[in-house]
Chain A
Amino acid sequence: MPRSTRVVGDGGSISKGKICSLKARAVLIDMEEGVVNEILQGPLRDVFDSKQLITDISGSGNNWAVGHKVFGSLYQEQILEKLRKSAEHCDCLQCFFIIHSMGGGTGSGLGTFLLKLLEDEFPEVYRFVTSVYPSGEDDVITSPYNSILAMKELNEHADCVLPIDNQSLFDIISKIDLMVNSGKLGTTIKPKSLVTSSAGAVKKRHQKPFDAMNNIVANLLLNLTSSARFEGSLNMDLNEISMNLVPFPQLHYLVSSLTPLYTLADVNIPTRRLDQMFSDAFSKDHQLIRADPKHSLYLACALMLRGNVQVSDLRRNIERLKPSLQFVSWNQEGWKTSLCSVPPVGHSHSLLALANNTCVKPTFMELKERFMRLYKKKAHLHHYLQIEGMEESSFMEAVSSLSGLIEEYNQLDATKSMPVEDFPRLSIAV
C-alpha cells in the first residue's frame, strides 16, 4: 500500500536528458513483501527510496483488526520516523495522499490507522484519501467488515475521499478495448493517449489487467495535481478542493470522472470535441465509481481542465449542462473551476470532474447491507474479536457512523423536491 505526498522531484539533477535522481516523496507500506519487492525490481525502482519502506512477511489476512490494531501498534514508531523524514525534505508540506483499498486488511486497517496518526502528528496538513471500494463480486468474504470499519476512520479523519471501485475501472477498460478492436475507419488510437497505459503499447495491457486499471487512478491523481504543478490562467491548489467541495466536515466523498479516455489519431475532428469532453465528464461511462449523480443532488462540483481550454469554453459548457443537473438550494451555482495550460501527454486537453453528490449514498447503503448480512450470522467475527482492542462495540460504532452519514445524505435528498426559497434577509432601519 503505497502512500505518497506530493510526488514532486526532489531537486534532481539532469544528466544526458534524463532526470536521474528524482525520488518520490513516498512511503510504501505493506505487511507482505511481494508487491513492494516487485516495484523495487521493476522499471521504477530508482524512483523510490528503498529506505522509505515498511514491510512485514505474514500479511494481515484480510483482517482490518490485524492491520489496524496489531500492525498499527507494532509499526507506529517506524511509520512516524519515515514520515518525519519525508516531511523534512519538503519546503512546504501541504498534503498527504493515502492510497489504499478498503476491502483487505493492510490497506484498510493499517491505512486508516495511519490516517489518525497523520492527523495527530501533522494536524495542519490535508489528508486526501484514494480508496478502492470492494465491488459486488469481490472475492474477499470479509471485505464488508473491513470496509465498514475503515469507513468510520475515513469519516472522522480524512479531509477528502475519492472512492473508486474496480468494476468501474474494468468497464472503462472494456470500453477502450471496444474502440481499439473495432477497426472502424478513423478510430486509430494514439497509443500514448490511453488513460490505461503509460508505456504506450496497446497490447501490453492484457498481461496485467490491474496495471491498466491502476493507471486510470494514476491519471486521476495526475490531473488532480496538475494545476498545482503547472502554470495556468486559473490555478487550483489541493487545499482549494477541500475548501470548495466540503460544505460540511463529514460530507467529503467525491465522485470522480475523467475524460478523455483516449485520443483518436485522426486530428480532423472539429472542436465540437471540446464540448463533447464536458458532456462525457457527466456521463456514467467515465466515472471511477458506480453512481448516478445526474439523478441525485449535487452539493458542489469541481471542473479541472488542462490544455487549450479558455474561460469562454468553460462558461459555455457550464451554461449548457446546468439545466440537467440538480444542485442543492444553497449552492445553485456550486461550481469550482480551474484552467491549467499544460495538457496530459498525448492529449490536447482533458477534464477531471469531482462531484460532491448524494449519489454515493446507494454505494454506502449497499455496503452496509452486505455488512449486516454477515454480521447477523456472526460469520468470521471471531477472527476480529480475538484481536486485542476489538469488541462488538467497535462494529456497532462503525455501523452507527455509517448510518449517520447515510442519514445526512437522506436529509439533503429530501430537499430535492422542495421549491427553492430565499431566506428572509436582514432588515435595516434606514
Chain B
Amino acid sequence: MSIVTVQLGQCGNQIGFEVFDALYTDSHCPQGLCSKRENEAYQASCKERFFSEEENGVPVARAVLVDMEPKVTNQTLSKAAQSGRWKYGQHSCFCQKQGSGNNWAYGYSVHGPRHEESIMNLIQKEVEKCDSLSGFFIIMSMAGGTGSGLGAFVTQNLQDQYSNSLKMNQIIWPYGTGEVIVQNYNSILTLSHLYRSSDALLVHENDALHKICAKLMNIKQISFSDINQVLAHQLGSVFQPTYSVEGSCHYRRNPLGDLMENLVPHPEFKMLGIRNIPQMSENSLAYSTFTWAGLLKHLRQMLISNSKMEEGIDWQVRPPLSGLPTLGKASLNRGLHFNMSIANLVILRGKDVHSADLGGFKDSALYTSWLEPINAFNVWKTQRAFSKYEKSAALVSNSQFLLKPLDTIVGKAWNMFASKAYIHQYTKFGIEEEDFLDSFTLLEQVVASYCNL
C-alpha cells in the first residue's frame, strides 16, 4: 500500500527531498547483506510504497510539494531531477510568491482557503496514481508560517476528504533557542489543531538531531542538510519494508496502519518519538561491530531514561520495581526521570535478526497498565540491512518522551501571551485571543494526560 507525502514550506520540502533520497539510496544498496531475491522483494516493496513508475523508468516520488514562495521548491525539484536516479512529478508542485511571513494565521486563514482547491487537486492526482492508499505523510515545521499554518489547514482537509486513510504528521520541533521569535505561538497553534485532525504526530527535534550530528557523526560545521539527513535516516529505518507474518521475502503491506494500531490506542495520546541506533560517521563505522544484545540494551535504556542518542545515557534510571504495590502518582518506586510508555515499536534490520532477544522491552514495568504487555510492545524485523549498517534498531515510542519539550513550549508561549506581545500580528488575519486560549487549554490537557501516566 502506498503513502503519499505532502511537503510544506521550506523545512518540509528540504526534508522531503532527503527522505526520498535516503529511501531510494537504501533500497538500491548493492546487496543489503541478504540474498538477491530478498533484496529484490525489499526494493519492490519500498518502491511501491514511496514511488510511482514513469515511462522512461525513473521512479517518481509519491509527493506533493507546497510552498508559498518559489525558491525552495524550485531547488528541491531540480536537485532531485539532477540526481538522475529519482525525481518529483513535473506537475506535483504548488507555489506562490509572497510567503507566509512566519505567521501561522496567514498560513492557516489566508493561504489555506485561497489555495485549498489547487492543493487538494494536486493531492488527489497523486492519490489516484496509487493502487491502494495507506495514508499520508505531512512533513512540516512548527516554527514558521507555511508548514505550520497551511500544514494544519491541509491536514484538516485531508481528514475531511480522505477519512478512511491515515494521516501521520512529521513535525519538526524547532531549536529551543530561537530560529523564529514567534515559534512558540506557531507551535501551540499547530499542535492544538493537529491534535484534532491528525492520527499521529511523529516528532523530530532539531536540538536532538543537532546533537547527533555533533557528537555521533562528528560533523564540525553542521548544516541543515546534515540535520535533515539524520532525520531521513531515522524515518527510513522505521518505514522501509519489514517482514509480514509470513517472513522472508514477504513484506508488510501497511506499515503505517500497523504502526497506528500498535502505538495509538487512544486519541488523547498521539505524540510519538523516534530513536535509532547505531548512528555514526562512515569512518567510525568501519571500525565498529555490534551485537543485538548490546544495541538493544542501549536502546532500552534510551527509552527508559529519555535519552535522544546512544551517548551520554543515564544508566541510573530504572523502571519502578514491579511486584510492589503502586502508591499512586507520588510513588517512590518510580525512578527519577523514568519515562513511562504507553506502547513501543522496535524495528530491527540486519544480520541474524531472528536471534535478537527483546525480553527487556516486554517488561510490564515499562508500561502503563492499560494494555497487556503483549499488546503494548511490538517488533518488526527484516534480515535486509539498512543503509550502511550491518545491524540497526529503531524505536518508535508513545511515551513521555515529548512531555518536557511540550511543557516548555506551552510555558514560553503562555508567558509571551500574558504580555500580549505579537498578538496583533495574528488578530490581523483572523486568529483571535480566544483561539490562542483554546489551544492552550487543549495542550495543557495533553500535558496533564502524559504527566499522569
Contacts and interface: CB of A to CB of B under 8 A. Distances in A.
A348 interface: no
Interface string B413-453: 01110111110110000000000000011001100110010
A379 interface: no
Interface size band for B: 35 or more
Q: Count chain A CB atoms within 10 A of each CB in B14, B219, B222, B424 and give the residue with the most.
A: B222
A125 to B, nearest CB: 10
A326 interface: no
B245 to A, nearest CB: 40
Contacts of B411: 422, 425
A250 B23 CA distance: 50
A87 to B, nearest CB: 14
A214 B452 CA distance: 61
B224 interface: yes
A126 to B, nearest CB: 9
A92 B220 CA distance: 40
Nearest to B74: A231
A210 interface: no
B69 A246 contact: no
B421 A310 contact: no
Interface string B341-363: 00000000000000000000000
Nearest to A245: B181
Nearest to A232: B71
Contacts of A92: 96-98
Interface stretch (B172-180, B194-202, B295-303): B172-180
Contacts of A336: 102, 178-181
Contacts of B175: 315
B69 A237 contact: yes
A243 B416 CA distance: 14
A39 interface: no
B225 interface: yes
Interface in A318-374: 318-319, 322, 329-337, 339
Given A94-B98, A336-B181, A422-B411, A310 B223 contact: yes
Contact of B179 (A91, A234, A243, A330): A234
Nearest to B97: A92
Contact of B412 (A231, A333, A339): A333
Interface string B82-95: 00000000000000
Contacts of B441: 426, 428
B382 interface: no
B421 A315 contact: no
Contacts of A318: 177-178
Given A247-B421, A312-B210, A242 B101 contact: yes
A322 B75 CA distance: 34
Contacts of A246: 422, 425
Nearest to A312: B222
A235 interface: yes
B182 interface: yes
A313 interface: yes
B415 A330 contact: yes
B181 A334 contact: yes
A141 interface: no
Interface in B390-419: 410-412, 414-416, 418-419
Interface residues of A, number: 44
Contacts of A312: 210, 213-214, 219-223
B444 A330 contact: no
B240 interface: no
A337 B179 CA distance: 5
A233 B224 contact: yes
A319 B441 CA distance: 32
A276 interface: no
A400 interface: no
Contact of A249 (B227, B415, B424): B424
A247 B422 CA distance: 4
B237 interface: no
B72 interface: yes
B177 A425 contact: no
Nearest to B424: A249
A233 B222 contact: no
Given A239-B99, A311-B224, A330 B177 contact: no
B242 interface: no
A243 B425 contact: yes
A282 B224 CA distance: 25
B103 interface: yes
A300 interface: yes
A243 B227 contact: no
B1 to A, nearest CB: 34
Interface in B153-187: 175-182
B5 interface: no
B101 A425 contact: no
Interface string B220-255: 111111010000000000000000000000000000
Most interface-central of B99, B103, B219, B445 (chain A CB within 10 A)? B99
Contacts of A279: none
B418 A330 contact: yes
B10 interface: yes
Contacts of B415: 329-330, 422-423
A78 interface: no
Interface string A387-430: 00000000000000000000000000000000000110111101
- With most chain B CB atoms within 10 A of its CB, the pick from A245, A249, A322, A331 is A331
A244 interface: yes
Contact of A233 (B225, B418, B440): B225
Interface in A218-265: 231, 233-235, 237, 239-240, 242-249
Contacts of B98: 92, 94, 237, 239
Contacts of A239: 98-99, 101-103
Contacts of B178: 318, 333-337
7 shortest interchain CB distances as A-B pairs: A239-B101, A312-B222, A92-B97, A335-B178, A247-B421, A244-B181, A330-B419
8 contacts: A92-B96, A92-B97, A239-B101, A240-B180, A310-B222, A318-B178, A333-B181, A335-B181
Given A234-B10, A246-B425, 14 more contacts: A94-B97, A234-B179, A237-B69, A239-B99, A239-B102, A249-B424, A310-B222, A310-B224, A312-B222, A318-B177, A333-B412, A335-B178, A425-B414, A428-B448
Interface of B: 10, 14, 69, 71-72, 75, 96-99, 101-103, 145, 175-182, 210, 213-214, 219-225, 227, 410-412, 414-416, 418-422, 424-425, 440-441, 444-445, 448-449, 452
